[in-house]
Chain A
Amino acid sequence: MQRIINNPDLVVEEMLKGYVKNHRDIVAPTDNPRVVKYVGAPVPGKVGVVTGGGSGHKPAFIGYVGRNMCDAAAIGEIFSSPTAKAFCDAFAAADAGKGVACLYGNYAGDNMNVKLAVKMAQKQGIEVKTVVANDDAASAPKDQAEKRRGGAGEIFVWKVGGAKAAQGGSLDEVVAVAQKAVDNTRSVGIGLTPCTIPAVGKPNFQIEDGKMELGIGHHGEPGVSVTDLRTADEIAELMLDIILPDLPFESGNDVAVLVSGLGATPVMECYVVFNRAFDILEEKGIHVYRSYVGNYFTSLEMMGVTITVMRLDAELKALLDEEADSMGLKQFRPRQ
């Protein structure tokens, strides 16, 4: 294992300390060392937006805490859900008396801890409603959508949910638009190499040299097929072949596209994939309204990419266009 760490058990603690030092203009620590909040939170009169998840996905999850984005995030160990207490404390840090929308991904541990945290928060008089992202189209068949995992589509959910809250939306309105984002978003991942949790010291799965795994999850969950490594263009085609028929996305749709590296992929290669993905969409008459390329949602040092596509209506476009200032997503200029 070739990694730049101190004590492997303290990677999350030390990362958080460094993160807060560097981004002190955007985030602030809280009494719970596993909860980080937006410096302005709770924002008076605004519905709170909270997320959370295991570590190892930088910039997710704390990278999306900021202005017009999430107000607080609960932070777990690497690839392990935050505690119920951390989620509950994040709700408290975000709550301005208007209620809190908890927008997170569909994983067993997160589901349990959020469920318990919502009960704890109720006892403190904080109203919390949840939206669970299940955008990973390769993780279960469409008729078992409740089993699908959350993927990089969560970023779009935070973006539109955060914008709706910032524009004065009620808790029900924020939750409704976040759910609309989930319903219109599909993602798929591809992995070329495994990743290693520092405290474990060895990869917990293998991908042979010269092979790739289509449909891999953010923690190395199994994909739909292992095949010989293809070219970037072919990879973009294979991934969109899963995404597009699933919703389905059709000619005439306006969409947002996000291509994220999984940690070890040169960003250059993310652009190579996006280049083809953009052309495929345009060839099919699907118009790319906005797009994002880079390391938005990673899996430690896994080599691979995810593609996420969200179908847009006027409301989602307007919310996507809202300014945002977080470490992972900054947007200040109107769309050209």
Chain B
Amino acid sequence: MKTFDQQAAGRVIYELTAVIQKNRDYLSEIDGATGDGDHGVNMNKGFTKCREQLEGGGEGRSLSEAMDLLGDILLSEIGGSMGPLYGTFFMEMAENIGGKAQIGAEDFLGMLKAGLAGIRALVPTEIGDKTLLDVLVPSVAAFETALAVGKDFDAALDTLKVAAAESREATKDMVAKVGRASRLGERSRGFYDAGATSCALILASLADSVQALLR
């Protein structure tokens, strides 16, 4: 049964902040096709501030502490919809694993589910509305199914990454029902959703970093 020491895993979030920084322009470009074009800039603002506060690459911080820091920054610095959505996501995940020393596959699943539940309590958005939930929900479900059929933590994280990429791809064919892109109606079809894209990046980065800790 593979686990990782969450008390020494602050690096997972440090590595995530680099992924968002690297994709700043890409996220804004995707957002610009159907929305305000500010998604990458807003995300980068919050994640960069978190990166600056994670001295030494997140060493000496637990994963829970690092996620709590990120969530707090997103809630206090980034308004709009993404601040509260991702802020809640990371705060709820931080709280969920706060008392644990080692994180196994089931703990990681529980953490993701807590983050998802936090978002779902906040918004009435449905699956298929072309939002980040269209990546988060199927990705968490795929991870759970992988564990149920007997895959180990590392292999289930591979499944999670594949599901995140595929479900993000699937948002391209959806028609936006909420957010500014909903103005375009049918014309929003054919474009990726910016929130779904950042969500896929976040899940892939978390999975990569945890796999590195497991190996």
Q: Answer yes or no: A220 CB below 8 A from chain B CBs.
A: yes
Q: Is the CB of A108 within 8 A of B183?
A: no
Please judge, given known A-B contacts A108-B123, A113-B83, whether A83 and B36 are in contact too, CB under 8 Å. Answer: no
| Bound-state Cα–Cα, A80 to B80, Å | 5
Chain A residues whose C-beta falls within 8 Å of the C-beta of B178 in the assembled complex: 108
Q: Answer yes or no: B55 CB below 8 A from chain A CBs.
A: no
How far does the Cβ of A17 sit from chain B's closest Cβ, in whole Å?
A: 19
Interface centre among A80, A108, A197, A205 (most CB of B within 10 A): A108
Q: Is the CB of B80 within 8 A of A77?
A: yes
Q: Answer yes or no: A29 CB below 8 A from chain B CBs.
A: no
Interface members, chain B 60-88 (any A CB < 8 Å): 75-81, 83-85, 87-88
Q: Is the CB of A112 within 8 A of B75?
A: no
Interface members, chain A 264-294 (any B CB < 8 Å): none
Interface members, chain A 51-108 (any B CB < 8 Å): 54, 76-77, 79-86, 108
Q: Answer yes or no: B100 CB below 8 A from chain A CBs.
A: no
Main SS at interface, chain B:
helix
Q: Interface range on chain A: under 10, 10 to 19, 20 to 34, or 35 or more?
A: 20 to 34
Q: Could you say which of B41, B79, B183, B185 contacts A76, with CB atoms under 8 Å apart? A: B79
Q: Could you say which of A81, A85, A200, A222 contacts B38, with CB atoms under 8 Å apart? A: A200
How far does the Cβ of A267 sit from chain B's closest Cβ, in whole Å?
A: 28
Chain A residues whose C-beta falls within 8 Å of the C-beta of B35 in the assembled complex: 204
Q: Answer yes or no: B149 CB below 8 A from chain A CBs.
A: no
Q: Is the CB of A79 within 8 A of B36?
A: yes
| Bound-state Cα–Cα, A108 to B80, Å | 8
Contacts between the two chains (Cβ within 8 Å), count: 79
How far does the Cβ of B25 sit from chain A's closest Cβ, in whole Å?
A: 14
Chain A residues whose C-beta falls within 8 Å of the C-beta of B76 in the assembled complex: 83-85
Q: Could you say which of B41, B87, B123, B185 contacts A84, with CB atoms under 8 Å apart? A: B87
Q: Is the CB of A109 within 8 A of B37?
A: no
Interface members, chain B 13-69 (any A CB < 8 Å): 32, 35-38, 41-42
Q: Is the CB of B75 within 8 A of A83?
A: yes
Please judge, given known A-B contacts A108-B179, A116-B75, A220-B183, whether A81 and B87 are in contact too, CB under 8 Å. Answer: no
Smallest Cβ-Cβ distance to B76: which chain A residue: A85
Q: Answer yes or no: A219 CB below 8 A from chain B CBs.
A: yes
For this complex, 16 residue pairs linking A to B, each with C-beta atoms less than 8 Å apart, are A77-B79, A77-B80, A80-B36, A80-B38, A81-B84, A84-B76, A84-B83, A85-B75, A85-B77, A108-B81, A108-B123, A109-B80, A113-B83, A200-B38, A204-B37, A205-B183
